[in-house]
Amino acid sequence: MTAKLTGLMNWLRSDRNLTTTHWASWESDSTYRRTNHDLDAIGELTMRSETVTHGGVIPHTFTRRVGPQFSEVNTQLLRDTAQALVADAKGVLAMDESNPTCNKRFAKLNIPQTMEARRAYRELIVTTPGLGDCICVVILHDETIRQQKVDGTPFLEILSDAGIIPGIKVDTGATDLAGHPGEKITEGLDGLRGRLAEYFQMGARFAKWRAVISIGDALPSRSGLEANAHALARYAALCQETGLVPIVEPEVLMDGDHTLERCRKVTEEVLRNVFIQLNCQRVLLEGLILKPNMVLSGLKCPAQASVDEVANTTVKSLWRTVPAAVPGIAFLSGGQSAELASARLNVMNHRFKSRLPWALAFSFARAIQQPALEMWSGQVGNVKAAQQALLHRARCNRAARRGEYTASMETK
């Protein structure tokens, strides 16, 4: 990790005069877009793109002034960090559960809901031997980023020694959206600039913000979509101003009886709104990671989509909505079983990886942690077995990133 961070911090000595990025995105199965960005020394961003169809090439060019956060040095830091977050066919371990959420999971297993129990469980995770072989990024909670092993070694030091990049969840949770029954808005923008600066000084190199979108008869509303997309974009701009890569997480929840097709339509609309707002807030797409849901049937839907259907529909939705300038997409698990989450990610990479403009990775919490948590159950004598369960799930998901996961891996 020391070498990696040294590489990321080479931006401090950068002497580049021009930043140019080339990317391509599929508008449909028969149309794709090639684009390059030129960012000059005074912050003038010129985009030149071509839409390539069976009928020919349609050129587009526009120029706009980007925000002051996009100096040459800051731009290079953001690009380098974002690339590192999805490197080496590894993934993201989300251990950023709030204390109330962690306590609820502990209560189901009769684990004491105390700070010390949470610290002990997190120590189990960060000290898992070989974790850095499969995980290159860990998302922490404010309590966790300040915690230490029982011998006083900071968790951040342990992660650094394992070659794992630390980051921090910075939203303060979702609350009811006024005037919109059944919808939520994520809070935490007040005072965020100062908190981000503190986390950067502590050693965090990225942040995460989650928005939650429910599907119902009249949900989501236009106001709900736009409010959450705007908050995500403002958060992302503040992160990049500080030098932190934002992980942007718009989650369409699995709860409900909606069909796969209904989830597809809502997911695409959510992502369109998010990228419109990111552009409005002058967020550098090459310096962020998207953390979306997979396109899934609702948990109560009588017709559950197959693994292949989920993989195909999810990738097509991303092609339609996510610019190829984004370096990586790290899926949330969102309540999927550990095995299904791995199987669906595997099919996406196995079938589409050679055609994708962005890396498809994982940013799982329960889909990696849950078997280990159940194995541990708060007992010191179960730590090694729990670590083995955690490492097993991490290895399965690394295999899924390569398109090499098989169901037989679950029985080894």
Distance CA 28, CA 5 (A): 38
Tokens, residue 314: 């999810």
Maximum C-alpha span of the chain: 67
Domain ranges, ordered by start, for the chain: 2-16+69-411
Catalytic residue of the set 72, 97, 123, 249: 249
DSSP reduced 3-state for 211 = strand
Q: What is the DSSP letter of 259?
A: -
Tokens, residue 3: 């070498």
Nearest CA among 397, 391, 369, 337 for reference residue 118: 369
Q: Using omega within 30 degrees of 0 as the cis cutoff, is the peptide bond preceding 302 cis?
A: no
Which residues have a Cβ under 8 Å from the Cβ of 131 and sit 6 or more positions away?
93, 125, 162, 164, 390, 391, 394
Residue-wise pLDDT tens for the chain (412 aa)? Answer: 444 444 443 333 333 333 333 334 333 443 444 444 454 443 444 444 444 434 444 444 434 344 555 667 689 999 999 999 999 999 999 999 999 999 999 999 999 999 999 999 999 999 999 999 999 999 999 999 999 999 999 999 999 999 999 999 999 999 999 999 999 999 999 999 999 999 999 999 999 999 999 999 999 999 999 999 999 999 999 999 999 999 999 999 999 999 999 999 999 999 999 999 999 999 999 999 999 999 999 999 999 999 999 999 999 999 999 999 999 999 999 999 999 999 999 999 999 999 999 999 999 999 999 999 999 999 999 999 999 999 999 999 999 999 999 999 998 6
* Half-sphere CA count of 190, side-chain side, radius 13 A: 3
Helix (H) or strand (E) holding 36: strand 32-39
Instruction: Tell me whether residue 291 is one of the annotated catalytic residues.
Output: yes
Instruction: Tell me whether residue 104 is one of the annotated catalytic residues.
Output: no
CB-CB contact of 20 with 35 (8 Å): no
Tokens, residue 329: 């997409």
- Which pLDDT does position 376 carry in this prediction? 98
Distance CA 123, CA 150 (A): 8
Tokens, residue 47: 């985009």
E-only strand ranges, 199-244: 206-213
Q: Which residue has the tokens 């009249």?
A: 218
Distance CA 325, CA 24 (A): 8
pLDDT in tens, 174-224: 999 999 999 999 999 999 999 999 999 999 999 999 999 999 999 999 999
- Which pLDDT does position 42 carry in this prediction? 38
- Which pLDDT does position 332 carry in this prediction? 98
Tokens, residue 187: 């809070």
pLDDT in tens, 311-345: 999 999 999 999 999 999 999 999 999 999 999 99
* CATH code that applies to domain 2-16+69-411: 3.20.20.70
Tokens, residue 54: 């069976």
